[in-house]
Amino acid sequence: MTVDSQTLHTDLSAIVGAEQVRAAVPADAIDGVQPQMIVEPDDEAQVAAVLRLASGAGLSVVPRGGGSKLGWGNPPRSVDLILSLRRLNQVIEHAWGDMTATVQAGCRVAELQRVLAEHGQRLALDPLWPERATIGGILATNDSGSLRARYGTLRDLVLGVTIALPDGTLARSGGKVVKNVAGYDLPKLINGAFGTLGVITEATFRLYPLPAHVRCLRFQASEVSALHRLLLRVLDSTLVLTGAQLAVASESPPVLDLRCEGIAEALDDQIAQLMQFGTGLSVAPLDPVDWHGYDSLWSEDEQELICKVSVLPSDIGALTQTIRRVAGPMQLGWELKIQALGTGMLRIAGANEQTLLAALSILRAESGQLAGSCVALHAPLAVKQKLDVWGAAPGSLPLMRRVKDRFDPQHVLNPGRFVGGM
């Protein structure tokens, strides 16, 4: 809804101070939807107060951290306020003896990792753009990276969270110790919910030691099937990898990158076994600094389509064949990076919007036949306006709607951006 800008500015200034409220500019728009105001609270109490004001006035709110993934999701139905968490950027506590850390949602991932590294520890994930991405943002989007092969996703790493609800309540769940399992599982509920249930203000994570050594190998073959067989053999072995990524593209030979971490003696044994598994394939050491995840798929080209795809590991080969079959006749350039557990990202380029839309529709149908999924993370606005970026509604949608109604009955937060237009 539209609220008198001067009144809104005055009311928000009473909560956070006039210097932390400003009128939105065109650069603040989300998929062409222009907000009225940007507000930057100093602490979680102010976050809660802003949400209480917005809820009472019937305003729509979009939380924003570093803005690195603000274009993900459906175009919002409306945006009155952007609630910036930029000022909530502190590492509150690093309990290095307990291997836990509590951090505010606006803290950049890279900054948290720098603080943890001072005691030889890390948050065991490697999300997109860590210098820009914030803790709240990676939780909201469930962005874990290739380290999930060894340490699990954010759902496995987060111990507790604090969120501000639209009615102004601050809700806390979980704890600061690894064994705390009591209470409502709010940390898992908000993970990947795209900020539609509440605004994350703080999180506590379990930590892991920094590795003593890191070794990587790159296998290359003329056919992806050979690399797929190697990947499945590795997954079926006793080897413990911290990364496995198969990269296939329209204009380059496929490669499989494998990463191990640990003490030197154990790594020597793992590398020797990997070399034995890959007999007959081209193999070379890969400098760990040259390990590139999904970030290399992204560019500034607005006409590209970037999808998150997911299939069973046994169906990775079938997925690559499907992509070739769809992209070839349409003369599409494409690149797929898919990691050990069957989740990856696909970039499609070199086509007009109609062709991108047609390709996405076919890929969704084909991946559905493999019991997989295909979510459009980045697409031209004209494409996003003609489909639900999340794909077909899941069977759990009625339950998801009930949860949304319980946490955000007026649908204040991120309206229309999540699954099923929630």
- Mean pLDDT, the chain, as a whole number? 92
Residue bearing tokens 């101070």: 17
Residue 26, CA distances (Å) to 23, 180, 270 in order: 10, 45, 53
For 30-60, the pLDDT digits (tens) are 999 999 999 999 999 999 999 999 999 999 9
Predicted confidence band of residue 173 (pLDDT cuts 50, 70, 90): confident
Q: How far apart are CA 265 and CA 387, in angstroms?
A: 52
Q: How confident is the model at residue 183 (pLDDT cuts 50, 70, 90)?
A: very low
pLDDT tens readout for residues 226-262:
999 999 999 999 999 999 999 999 988 999 999 999 9
Distance between start and end Cα atoms, the chain: 17
All domains in the chain, ordered by first residue: 5-86 (3.30.43.10), 91-209 (3.30.465.10), 213-288 (3.30.70.260), 294-384 (3.30.70.2740)
Bin 26: left if φ > 0, else alpha if -120 < ψ < 50, else beta: alpha
User: Per-residue pLDDT for 4 more than 90?
Assistant: no
In Å, how far from its chain's centre is CA 90? 21
pLDDT-derived band at 351 (thresholds 50, 70, 90) equals confident
Measured in whole angstroms, the distance separating CA 247 from the mean position of its chain's CA atoms is 19
Question: Which residue type does 88 have?
Answer: L
Q: In the predicted model, what is the mean pLDDT of residues 169-174?
A: 86
pLDDT tens readout for residues 74-103: 999 999 999 999 999 999 999 999 999 999
pLDDT exceeds 50 at position 180 = no
For residue 166, what are the contacts with CB-CB under 8 A and spacing of at least 6?
Answer: 51, 52, 54, 55, 61, 198, 407, 408, 409, 410, 412, 413
* pLDDT in the model for residue 300: 67
Distance CA 216, CA 7 (A): 58
Is the four-CA dihedral 141, 147, 148, 152 of positive or negative sign? negative
What's residue 388's pLDDT?
Answer: 92
Asked if 334 and 250 touch (Cβ cutoff 8 Å), the reply is: yes
In this predicted structure, the answer to whether residue 196 has a pLDDT above a threshold of 50 is yes
Residue 114 has pLDDT above 90, yes or no: yes
The distance from CA 346 to its chain's CA centroid, rounded to whole angstroms, is: 15
pLDDT band at 331 (very low <50, low <70, confident <90, very high): confident
CB 381 within 8 A of CB 43: no
Number of helices and strands (H, E) in the chain?
A: 13, 19
| 178: pLDDT strictly greater than 60 | no
Cβ proximity of 10 and 2 under 8 Å? no
Tokens of 83: 């609630």
The pLDDT score that the predictor gives to residue 188 is: 86
Q: Is the dihedral of CA 206, 210, 213, 214 positive or negative?
A: positive
Confidence of residue 181 (pLDDT cuts 50, 70, 90): very low
- DSSP conformation class of 288: G
Q: Per DSSP, what are the bridge partners of residue 78?
A: none
Classify residue 30 by its DSSP letter.
B
Rounded to whole angstroms, how far apart are CA atoms 64 and 70?
7
Q: What is the pTM of this model?
A: 0.92
Helix axis angle for 316-330 and 353-369, nearest 10°, is 150
For residue 251, what pLDDT is reported? 84
* Cα–Cα distance for residue pair 15/17, rounded to 1 Å: 6
On whether the CB atoms of residues 413 and 198 are closer than 8 A, the answer is yes
* Percent of the chain residues past pLDDT 70, beyond the cut: 97
Q: Across residues 212-216, what is the average pLDDT?
A: 96
Q: From the centroid of its chain, how far is CA 403?
A: 21
Tokens of 115: 């603080």
Are the beta carbons of 320 and 253 closer than 8 angstroms? no
- Tell me the pLDDT tens digit for each residue of 363-416: 999 888 888 899 999 999 999 999 999 998 888 999 999 999 999 999 999 999
User: Which H or E run contains 200?
Assistant: strand 199-206
Element (H, E) at 273: helix 264-277
Please report, as a single letter, which amino acid is at residue 177.
V
Mean pLDDT of 22-34: 95
Lowest-confidence pick of 16-20, 340-344, 408-412: 340-344
- Residues 292, 15: Cα–Cα separation, whole Å: 43
pLDDT at 28 (0 to 100) = 96
